[in-house]
Amino acid sequence: MSPLRRRLGWTLVTVSLFLHLFTIGCYSTQPDVFAAFTVMPIWLWGAIGLLLSGGAFYFMRAPLSLVLSGIWALTLLIGSDEARALGHIGKAAPQPGPAAPFKSRKVLRVLTINTGNFYFGDPTDDIIAWDPDIVLLQQTNPAHTARIAARLYQGKGDFRTDMFNGVITRWKIRREDRNRVIRSQQMEVVTPDGSALQVVNIHLATAATDLRLWKRSAWRDHSHNRKLRRQEMSVALQILGKTTDFPTVPTILAGDFNAPATDVVHRQLSRDFIDAFAETGVGWGNTFHRRFPILRIDHIYSTRHLTPVRCRVVETRHSDHRFVVADFLMR
Protein backbone atom coordinates (compact mmCIF):
# COMPACT_ATOMS: atom_id res chain seq x y z
CA MET A 1 0.00 0.00 0.00
CA SER A 2 1.43 3.36 -1.01
CA PRO A 3 1.99 6.05 1.64
CA LEU A 4 -0.47 8.30 -0.19
CA ARG A 5 -3.29 5.77 -0.04
CA ARG A 6 -2.59 5.14 3.65
CA ARG A 7 -2.53 8.88 4.36
CA LEU A 8 -5.79 9.43 2.51
CA GLY A 9 -7.40 6.50 4.29
CA TRP A 10 -6.44 7.72 7.76
CA THR A 11 -7.56 11.24 6.89
CA LEU A 12 -11.00 10.00 5.88
CA VAL A 13 -11.31 7.84 9.02
CA THR A 14 -10.34 10.79 11.21
CA VAL A 15 -12.81 13.15 9.55
CA SER A 16 -15.59 10.56 9.72
CA LEU A 17 -14.89 9.88 13.40
CA PHE A 18 -14.83 13.59 14.23
CA LEU A 19 -18.09 14.12 12.33
CA HIS A 20 -19.67 11.24 14.26
CA LEU A 21 -18.64 12.61 17.64
CA PHE A 22 -19.76 16.12 16.67
CA THR A 23 -23.10 14.79 15.38
CA ILE A 24 -23.77 12.75 18.51
CA GLY A 25 -22.93 15.72 20.71
CA CYS A 26 -25.11 18.16 18.79
CA TYR A 27 -28.19 15.95 18.44
CA SER A 28 -28.09 14.73 22.05
CA THR A 29 -27.63 18.14 23.68
CA GLN A 30 -29.23 20.36 20.97
CA PRO A 31 -27.31 23.58 21.73
CA ASP A 32 -28.87 26.63 20.09
CA VAL A 33 -25.52 27.69 18.69
CA PHE A 34 -25.53 24.58 16.46
CA ALA A 35 -29.20 24.78 15.44
CA ALA A 36 -28.16 25.21 11.81
CA PHE A 37 -26.52 21.78 12.00
CA THR A 38 -29.30 19.89 13.78
CA VAL A 39 -32.13 21.34 11.70
CA MET A 40 -31.19 18.77 9.08
CA PRO A 41 -32.11 15.10 9.58
CA ILE A 42 -29.35 13.14 11.25
CA TRP A 43 -29.23 10.68 8.36
CA LEU A 44 -27.85 13.44 6.12
CA TRP A 45 -24.71 13.68 8.23
CA GLY A 46 -24.75 9.91 8.61
CA ALA A 47 -24.66 9.50 4.84
CA ILE A 48 -21.63 11.78 4.67
CA GLY A 49 -19.97 9.86 7.49
CA LEU A 50 -20.62 6.53 5.79
CA LEU A 51 -19.25 7.90 2.54
CA LEU A 52 -16.07 8.97 4.33
CA SER A 53 -15.61 5.65 6.14
CA GLY A 54 -16.38 3.77 2.93
CA GLY A 55 -13.76 5.82 1.13
CA ALA A 56 -11.28 5.01 3.90
CA PHE A 57 -11.89 1.29 3.41
CA TYR A 58 -11.34 1.69 -0.33
CA PHE A 59 -7.94 3.29 0.27
CA MET A 60 -6.74 1.27 3.29
CA ARG A 61 -8.79 -1.96 3.38
CA ALA A 62 -8.56 -1.53 7.17
CA PRO A 63 -11.12 -3.18 9.49
CA LEU A 64 -11.29 0.08 11.49
CA SER A 65 -13.13 1.78 8.64
CA LEU A 66 -15.71 -1.04 8.59
CA VAL A 67 -16.17 -0.74 12.35
CA LEU A 68 -16.73 2.99 11.95
CA SER A 69 -19.28 2.32 9.21
CA GLY A 70 -21.08 -0.06 11.56
CA ILE A 71 -21.10 2.57 14.31
CA TRP A 72 -22.62 5.09 11.90
CA ALA A 73 -25.28 2.60 10.83
CA LEU A 74 -26.19 1.86 14.45
CA THR A 75 -26.32 5.57 15.24
CA LEU A 76 -28.75 6.21 12.41
CA LEU A 77 -30.92 3.28 13.40
CA ILE A 78 -31.18 4.55 16.96
CA GLY A 79 -31.06 8.29 16.40
CA SER A 80 -33.06 8.98 13.26
CA ASP A 81 -36.71 9.86 13.71
CA GLU A 82 -37.59 7.98 10.52
CA ALA A 83 -36.43 4.68 12.04
CA ARG A 84 -39.07 4.83 14.79
CA ALA A 85 -41.75 3.59 12.42
CA LEU A 86 -39.78 0.36 11.98
CA GLY A 87 -40.84 -0.57 15.48
CA HIS A 88 -44.49 -0.20 14.47
CA ILE A 89 -44.42 -2.68 11.59
CA GLY A 90 -47.59 -4.71 11.75
CA LYS A 91 -49.62 -1.99 13.46
CA ALA A 92 -52.80 -0.78 11.81
CA ALA A 93 -52.93 2.63 10.19
CA PRO A 94 -55.89 4.99 10.05
CA GLN A 95 -57.99 4.44 6.94
CA PRO A 96 -60.16 6.90 5.01
CA GLY A 97 -63.78 7.15 6.03
CA PRO A 98 -65.18 6.99 9.56
CA ALA A 99 -62.59 5.86 12.10
CA ALA A 100 -62.88 2.14 12.82
CA PRO A 101 -63.31 1.13 16.49
CA PHE A 102 -60.20 -0.06 18.31
CA LYS A 103 -60.80 -3.27 20.26
CA SER A 104 -64.54 -2.59 20.09
CA ARG A 105 -64.12 0.92 21.51
CA LYS A 106 -64.98 4.11 19.66
CA VAL A 107 -62.01 6.33 18.87
CA LEU A 108 -61.46 10.05 18.52
CA ARG A 109 -59.95 11.09 15.17
CA VAL A 110 -57.80 14.23 14.93
CA LEU A 111 -56.38 15.75 11.73
CA THR A 112 -53.91 18.62 11.42
CA ILE A 113 -53.00 20.33 8.16
CA ASN A 114 -51.21 23.47 7.03
CA THR A 115 -53.46 24.66 4.20
CA GLY A 116 -50.94 27.15 2.81
CA ASN A 117 -53.72 29.76 2.54
CA PHE A 118 -55.20 27.63 -0.27
CA TYR A 119 -52.29 28.64 -2.50
CA PHE A 120 -52.09 25.03 -3.72
CA GLY A 121 -55.86 24.62 -3.98
CA ASP A 122 -58.71 23.68 -1.69
CA PRO A 123 -57.91 20.70 0.59
CA THR A 124 -61.51 20.26 1.77
CA ASP A 125 -62.14 17.03 -0.14
CA ASP A 126 -58.93 15.53 1.26
CA ILE A 127 -60.06 16.40 4.78
CA ILE A 128 -63.60 15.09 4.28
CA ALA A 129 -62.22 11.75 3.08
CA TRP A 130 -60.90 11.04 6.59
CA ASP A 131 -64.07 12.07 8.47
CA PRO A 132 -62.19 13.58 11.44
CA ASP A 133 -63.83 14.59 14.71
CA ILE A 134 -61.46 17.54 15.19
CA VAL A 135 -59.52 19.43 12.50
CA LEU A 136 -56.70 21.85 13.21
CA LEU A 137 -55.82 24.23 10.40
CA GLN A 138 -52.74 26.41 10.08
CA GLN A 139 -52.11 29.14 7.52
CA THR A 140 -55.78 29.64 6.88
CA ASN A 141 -58.23 32.52 7.21
CA PRO A 142 -61.81 32.86 8.52
CA ALA A 143 -63.43 32.42 5.11
CA HIS A 144 -61.50 29.25 4.30
CA THR A 145 -62.13 27.78 7.76
CA ALA A 146 -65.86 28.47 7.48
CA ARG A 147 -65.95 26.88 4.02
CA ILE A 148 -64.31 23.68 5.20
CA ALA A 149 -66.55 23.52 8.29
CA ALA A 150 -69.72 23.94 6.22
CA ARG A 151 -68.85 21.10 3.88
CA LEU A 152 -67.32 18.80 6.47
CA TYR A 153 -70.25 18.72 8.90
CA GLN A 154 -73.03 20.22 6.74
CA GLY A 155 -73.50 23.11 9.14
CA LYS A 156 -73.90 20.86 12.21
CA GLY A 157 -70.42 21.24 13.62
CA ASP A 158 -68.67 24.11 15.36
CA PHE A 159 -65.54 26.07 14.59
CA ARG A 160 -63.36 28.94 15.75
CA THR A 161 -60.97 30.91 13.61
CA ASP A 162 -58.59 33.84 13.63
CA MET A 163 -56.43 35.41 10.97
CA PHE A 164 -53.94 32.55 11.01
CA ASN A 165 -55.47 29.31 12.35
CA GLY A 166 -58.76 27.48 12.59
CA VAL A 167 -60.24 24.62 14.61
CA ILE A 168 -63.28 22.68 13.40
CA THR A 169 -65.13 19.96 15.29
CA ARG A 170 -68.30 17.93 14.89
CA TRP A 171 -69.06 18.70 18.54
CA LYS A 172 -69.63 21.87 20.60
CA ILE A 173 -66.90 24.35 21.46
CA ARG A 174 -67.72 25.62 24.93
CA ARG A 175 -64.94 28.12 25.52
CA GLU A 176 -62.13 29.80 23.62
CA ASP A 177 -59.11 31.44 25.19
CA ARG A 178 -57.76 33.92 22.70
CA ASN A 179 -54.06 34.57 22.43
CA ARG A 180 -52.91 37.43 20.25
CA VAL A 181 -49.24 37.14 21.13
CA ILE A 182 -48.42 34.06 19.06
CA ARG A 183 -50.07 32.07 16.27
CA SER A 184 -52.01 29.68 18.45
CA GLN A 185 -55.58 28.89 19.49
CA GLN A 186 -56.89 27.23 22.61
CA MET A 187 -60.44 26.03 23.23
CA GLU A 188 -62.53 23.56 25.14
CA VAL A 189 -64.49 20.99 23.14
CA VAL A 190 -67.37 19.05 24.70
CA THR A 191 -67.35 15.40 23.63
CA PRO A 192 -70.56 13.33 23.25
CA ASP A 193 -70.27 11.92 26.77
CA GLY A 194 -70.14 15.45 28.19
CA SER A 195 -66.46 15.45 29.09
CA ALA A 196 -64.22 18.41 28.26
CA LEU A 197 -61.28 18.19 25.90
CA GLN A 198 -58.76 21.03 25.65
CA VAL A 199 -57.53 21.66 22.09
CA VAL A 200 -54.46 23.77 21.33
CA ASN A 201 -53.76 24.60 17.70
CA ILE A 202 -50.25 25.93 17.30
CA HIS A 203 -48.21 27.35 14.44
CA LEU A 204 -44.72 28.18 15.60
CA ALA A 205 -42.43 30.75 13.98
CA THR A 206 -41.47 30.09 10.39
CA ALA A 207 -38.21 28.18 10.22
CA ALA A 208 -34.93 29.73 9.16
CA THR A 209 -34.01 28.39 5.73
CA ASP A 210 -30.49 29.69 5.13
CA LEU A 211 -28.33 26.57 4.73
CA ARG A 212 -25.14 28.38 3.74
CA LEU A 213 -23.30 26.91 6.69
CA TRP A 214 -20.06 28.59 5.69
CA LYS A 215 -21.66 31.94 6.68
CA ARG A 216 -21.82 33.07 10.28
CA SER A 217 -25.16 34.78 9.63
CA ALA A 218 -26.81 31.43 8.85
CA TRP A 219 -25.77 29.98 12.21
CA ARG A 220 -26.95 33.13 13.98
CA ASP A 221 -30.34 33.11 12.21
CA HIS A 222 -31.01 29.44 13.04
CA SER A 223 -30.03 29.98 16.66
CA HIS A 224 -32.34 32.98 17.03
CA ASN A 225 -35.14 31.18 15.21
CA ARG A 226 -35.00 28.18 17.54
CA LYS A 227 -35.05 30.41 20.63
CA LEU A 228 -38.12 32.18 19.25
CA ARG A 229 -40.02 28.91 18.74
CA ARG A 230 -39.10 27.77 22.21
CA GLN A 231 -40.42 31.03 23.66
CA GLU A 232 -43.65 30.68 21.69
CA MET A 233 -44.18 27.15 22.98
CA SER A 234 -43.55 28.34 26.53
CA VAL A 235 -46.19 31.04 26.13
CA ALA A 236 -48.73 28.55 24.80
CA LEU A 237 -48.09 26.18 27.70
CA GLN A 238 -48.27 28.99 30.24
CA ILE A 239 -51.65 30.10 28.89
CA LEU A 240 -52.88 26.51 28.94
CA GLY A 241 -51.79 26.16 32.57
CA LYS A 242 -53.38 29.45 33.65
CA THR A 243 -56.74 28.93 31.95
CA THR A 244 -57.29 25.20 32.63
CA ASP A 245 -56.36 22.53 35.15
CA PHE A 246 -53.60 21.30 32.84
CA PRO A 247 -51.93 18.83 33.05
CA THR A 248 -54.78 17.02 34.83
CA VAL A 249 -57.25 17.56 31.96
CA PRO A 250 -57.37 15.75 28.57
CA THR A 251 -55.57 17.90 26.00
CA ILE A 252 -54.71 17.73 22.32
CA LEU A 253 -51.85 19.97 21.19
CA ALA A 254 -51.14 19.85 17.48
CA GLY A 255 -50.17 21.87 14.45
CA ASP A 256 -47.22 23.09 12.42
CA PHE A 257 -44.19 23.31 14.71
CA ASN A 258 -41.79 24.34 11.94
CA ALA A 259 -39.30 22.17 13.79
CA PRO A 260 -38.24 18.57 13.13
CA ALA A 261 -39.03 15.85 15.63
CA THR A 262 -35.48 15.95 17.02
CA ASP A 263 -35.64 19.67 17.82
CA VAL A 264 -35.29 20.77 21.43
CA VAL A 265 -38.72 22.44 21.39
CA HIS A 266 -40.31 19.00 21.69
CA ARG A 267 -38.56 18.43 25.00
CA GLN A 268 -40.87 21.07 26.47
CA LEU A 269 -43.72 18.63 25.89
CA SER A 270 -42.08 15.35 26.86
CA ARG A 271 -43.18 15.43 30.51
CA ASP A 272 -46.92 15.84 29.92
CA PHE A 273 -47.57 14.85 26.30
CA ILE A 274 -47.30 11.85 23.99
CA ASP A 275 -46.26 12.22 20.34
CA ALA A 276 -48.90 10.23 18.41
CA PHE A 277 -46.67 9.35 15.48
CA ALA A 278 -43.67 8.42 17.61
CA GLU A 279 -45.94 6.21 19.69
CA THR A 280 -47.89 4.39 17.00
CA GLY A 281 -47.24 5.92 13.56
CA VAL A 282 -46.76 3.77 10.49
CA GLY A 283 -45.18 4.59 7.16
CA TRP A 284 -43.04 7.57 6.24
CA GLY A 285 -43.76 10.20 8.87
CA ASN A 286 -42.08 13.27 7.40
CA THR A 287 -44.46 16.04 6.35
CA PHE A 288 -42.35 18.68 4.59
CA HIS A 289 -41.91 19.22 1.75
CA ARG A 290 -44.87 17.37 0.22
CA ARG A 291 -42.95 16.27 -2.88
CA PHE A 292 -39.79 15.26 -1.05
CA PRO A 293 -40.54 15.09 2.68
CA ILE A 294 -37.34 15.01 4.72
CA LEU A 295 -38.61 16.69 7.92
CA ARG A 296 -41.45 15.81 10.31
CA ILE A 297 -42.58 19.30 11.34
CA ASP A 298 -46.34 18.70 11.70
CA HIS A 299 -47.29 16.91 14.91
CA ILE A 300 -50.18 15.72 17.05
CA TYR A 301 -49.57 15.45 20.79
CA SER A 302 -51.94 14.34 23.54
CA THR A 303 -51.83 14.17 27.31
CA ARG A 304 -51.91 10.73 28.88
CA HIS A 305 -55.68 10.92 29.24
CA LEU A 306 -55.77 9.89 25.58
CA THR A 307 -54.06 6.84 24.12
CA PRO A 308 -52.90 7.11 20.49
CA VAL A 309 -53.76 3.85 18.73
CA ARG A 310 -53.26 4.70 15.06
CA CYS A 311 -51.39 7.44 13.22
CA ARG A 312 -50.15 8.15 9.73
CA VAL A 313 -49.08 10.96 7.41
CA VAL A 314 -51.11 11.53 4.24
CA GLU A 315 -50.04 13.23 1.03
CA THR A 316 -52.20 15.94 -0.49
CA ARG A 317 -51.79 17.94 -3.68
CA HIS A 318 -53.40 20.95 -1.99
CA SER A 319 -50.62 21.95 0.39
CA ASP A 320 -46.85 22.06 0.52
CA HIS A 321 -47.18 19.96 3.70
CA ARG A 322 -48.47 16.44 4.13
CA PHE A 323 -51.10 16.19 6.85
CA VAL A 324 -51.28 14.03 9.96
CA VAL A 325 -54.20 11.82 11.04
CA ALA A 326 -54.33 10.15 14.46
CA ASP A 327 -56.91 8.02 16.28
CA PHE A 328 -57.17 8.13 20.08
CA LEU A 329 -58.91 6.26 22.86
CA MET A 330 -60.18 8.34 25.76
CA ARG A 331 -59.03 6.77 29.03
**pLDDT, tens only, 64-123:** 888 999 999 999 999 999 888 888 888 899 999 999 999 999 999 999 999 999 999 999
Q: What's the mean pLDDT in 293-311?
A: 96
pLDDT for res 321: 96
pLDDT for res 56: 85
CA distance 323 to 128: 13
Q: Where in the chain is the domain with CATH 3.60.10.10?
A: 96-330
Q: What's the mean pLDDT in 228-252?
A: 95
CA distance 47 to 276: 28
Mean pLDDT of the chain: 93
pLDDT for res 104: 94
Question: Residue 4 — pLDDT band, cuts 50, 70, 90?
Answer: confident
Provide the edge-to-edge strand list for the sheet that holds 251-256. Answer: 172-177, 184-190, 196-203, 251-256, 298-303, 273-275
62 has a pLDDT exceeding 80: no
pLDDT for res 75: 94
pLDDT for res 1: 60
61 has a pLDDT exceeding 90: no
Q: What's the mean pLDDT in 209-237?
A: 95
For residue 197, list its beta bridge partners.
Answer: 189
Q: What's the mean pLDDT in 142-166?
A: 93
60 has a pLDDT exceeding 80: no
pLDDT for res 181: 66
CA distance 79 to 215: 27
Q: What's the mean pLDDT in 6-31?
A: 92
Question: Residue 310 — pLDDT band, cuts 50, 70, 90?
Answer: very high
217 has a pLDDT exceeding 90: yes
pLDDT for res 57: 81
324 has a pLDDT exceeding 80: yes
5 has a pLDDT exceeding 80: no
Please tell me the CATH code under which domain 96-330 is placed. Answer: 3.60.10.10
* Percentage with pLDDT > 70 across the chain: 99
